[in-house]
Amino acid sequence: MISINRSGLAAAAMGFFLTACAAVNEPINAPGQSADGTVSIAGAGAGNRDDVFVGLAFSGGGTRASAFAYGMLDELQRRTGNSANPYGVLTDVRLVSGVSGGSVTAAWFGYKGPAGLKGYRENYLLKDGEVHMANSAFNPVTIVKGLSGGANDRNTFARFLDETLFKGATYGDLHRKSRIATWINASDVANNTPFLFSPETFNALCSDLSKLPISEAVAASAAFPLVFSPIVLKAHQDCNYRPPDWLVAAKNNPEATSAMRAYAATLESYRDPSRVQYVKLLDGGITDNFGTTGMAVARAKAQTPYGPLSKKEAVRIRRMLFLVANAGVSKDYGWTQQVKGPGAMELAMSIVNSSMGSATRVGYDVMRLSLDQWHEDLIKFRCDLSMDEVAELRGSVEGWDCQDIKLFVGEVSADALDPAMRNKLNEIPTRLRLEPEQVDTAIAAARQSLGRNAEFNGFLASLKEAPSPPAGARRITPVSN
């Protein structure tokens, strides 16, 4: 006879109660195969310039992050727009990457382009993104659901996003409509790796990304632990999947970064039903708060020193700007002033925030190093070209300088703000519902920070520099041996 004491019975009952209360999400991806329909980074942006490349990354932080990213976009337009091109350098944006709250603005900008900024504050930022959510900290049912895996399922924020912004638009619509490569990032919490919503990832799941609503990807990217239950994808097995050569090379290349090898191993795990039948996604900020995985994948996929640019783009590009909108804030914890504490919930949130803070710092450093290496590779590729190759790719060798590529990488964050503005930004909570003055504070903070950003201002100054060889002269650069 098996004996169960009272404490064991109570624990079993509590476990059953928690499981029964858990908000469970059904898989959101249908079986199929994804065509490589992603927008290429190669080629000019929405404008006509082929010598300027702008990439943007928006961090997490709820609606505060969405508003901060919008403020940076708005300031970019204000500082560079003119009567001939009212959107300014926004038309030079080739890629945008978003995580968590920043993924809302990233997806919307990627889908609608610069014209999508009009009305975004009123139509989204001022709306109540928690309207369908259970979010009361004083409701015991909400607390129990949170502790059991998540207080809210996907039919809350995803529903709000679809009703408010995307109106049923899918990734297929995004890829057909947009000229901006758009990367939405979540976290695979079983593999402890970033999850990139891309055809490569969905092909490994035997699933068709083009059919997935944009709102579902954004909601997965913003699925903060405890507040949301993990978003679920099914690893289908009914397709003839063959991993791409670049992915195999990344997995087996000892010189590949550990992050890239982990990404390759994660996709491989999706093909093994004994390991993964369902992928569980949470907030992208847990593993990669700036969405740098997309750039690593794009570089590996190209397998060339100039990729993901084309050869022609590589010889024509002159100025590259990458800006990160970091909407992170610093907050003092009361329990650091006393011996007691933190409590269970405070500790859980502190652990999650610590993970995201670490991902933020590491993400920016990784992005900076990878971009610096790409910059060096581009220069070497250009300087190894013969003059005949330059003429063929560029159309002329007039004004040619193989080293004339300037890279600017800047972080737009609270660090550049006046103390008063920084304090106001720090008071804005990480929520999906803010007061109008809080939204406007986040927007104003991004504008102020961007205006003081040395890298951005250096980029603007460099745009005024044009090649100035004597009329009719041909500038010849020796070919490296």
What is the pLDDT, as a whole number, of residue 91? 95
- Name the DSSP letter for residue 31: B
Q: Encoding tokens for residue 175?
A: 């890829």
pLDDT at 478 over 70: no
pLDDT at 225 over 50: yes
pLDDT in tens, 351-371: 666 666 666 667 778 788 889
pTM: 0.86
Say how many CA atoms lie within 13 Å of 224 toward its Cβ: 24
More confident residue, 99 or 355: 99
pLDDT in tens, 4-16: 444 444 444 444 4
Residue for token pair 């910059």: 375
pLDDT at 450 over 80: yes
* Cα distances (Å, whole numbers) of residue 245 to 269, 303, 404, 435: 17, 10, 32, 50
pLDDT at 32 over 80: yes
pLDDT in tens, 163-189: 999 999 999 999 999 989 999 999 999
Q: Write out the E strands in 40-140.
A: 52-58, 93-99
Task: Grade residue 442 by pLDDT with cuts at 50, 70 and 90.
Answer: very high
Task: Grade residue 155 by pLDDT with cuts at 50, 70 and 90.
Answer: confident
Q: How many CB atoms lie within 10 A of CB 107?
A: 29
Radius of gyration of the chain from its Cα atoms, rounded to whole angstroms: 24
What is the pLDDT, as a whole number, of residue 455? 97
Contact, 282 vs 146, CB < 8 A?
no
pLDDT at 25 over 50: yes
| Mean pLDDT of the residues in the chain | 84
Contact, 95 vs 58, CB < 8 A?
no
pLDDT at 480 over 90: no
What is the pLDDT, as a whole number, of residue 2? 41
pLDDT at 481 over 50: no
Average pLDDT over residues 222-228: 87
Please give the full DSSP string across 170-218, using - where no structure is assigned.
BHHHHHHH-SSEEEEEEEETTTTEEEE-SHHHHHHTTB-GGGSBHHHHH
What is the pLDDT, as a whole number, of residue 48? 58
Please give the full DSSP string across 301-351, using - where no structure is assigned.
HH-SSSTTS-HHHHHH--EEEEEEE--------GGGGSSS---HHHHHHHH
More confident residue, 347 or 67: 67
What is the pLDDT, as a whole number, of residue 357? 65
Average pLDDT over residues 46-56: 81
pLDDT in tens, 59-89: 999 999 999 999 999 999 999 999 999 999 9
Which of 113-119's residues contact partners 24+ apart within 8 Å by CB, and which partners? Answer: 113/46, 113/178, 113/179, 113/180, 114/46, 114/73, 114/77, 114/87, 114/90, 115/87, 117/70, 117/73, 117/74, 117/77, 117/90
What is the pLDDT, as a whole number, of residue 332? 62
pLDDT at 316 over 60: yes
Amino acid at 401: D
pLDDT at 468 over 50: no
Please state, in angstroms and rounded to a whole number, the distance separating the CA atoms of residues 257 and 58. 23
What is the pLDDT, as a whole number, of residue 470? 34
DSSP element (H, E) containing 300: helix 293-302
Q: How far apart are the first and last CA of the chain?
A: 83
